[in-house]
Amino acid sequence: MELTAQEITDLKRYLPLLRGLEDLKNIKEWSEKHLHDGLSSTKIPFDNISFNNLSQLMRKVSLEDDGIVVLPKTYGVIIAMAGTVDEAFIAKFSTDGSVVLLSNTTNVDDADTDGSLCIYDTGTTTSIKNRLGSTKEIRYIIFS
C-alpha cells in the first residue's frame, strides 16, 4: 500500500517523536520510564521538545485473551507493546478506523487474527485486541 501525500505530511509531523525508537526493543525501556501503572491519562515528561499542540495519551491495561481496547475517535500515531515486548508495533490510525502498520514484530496484525496482537478497523473505530492466547499487559501511547 502506497502512502498518500497527506499521509506522508502527517507522518513527517510525528517523526521527531519516533526518533530513537527504530528498534522496537527500545520500547520496553522507554515505556518503563514513561508509562505509569493503572489506567490514567498523563503528559509525557519531556522538557525540551516542542509538540506544536500535539496531545498524548498513555495507558496500561491488562487484557485477557480476546480482550479489546477501543481507541479514542481521533487520528494519530500509536506505539504499543504486549507483555515484556512479546509483541510491539507502531501504527498510524484515522478517525474512520483505518490503520496503517509502520513497524511491528512478527505476531502483530492489522486484522482480527488469532495468535496475534491486533490493531484493526472495527468499522467506525480503531481497536487493539489481544489474540495472543493469554492475558497480556498492553501499554500504549497515542500522539494525536
Digit-coded pLDDT (tens) for 69-110: 999 888 889 999 999 878 999 999 999 999 999 999 999 999
Question: How much is the pTM?
Answer: 0.66
Reported as a single tens digit per residue, the pLDDT across 8-45 is 676 666 655 555 444 444 555 555 554 444 344 443 34
CA distances from 16 to 42, 77, 91 (A): 20, 12, 15
What sign does the CA torsion over 13, 110, 125, 117 have? Answer: negative
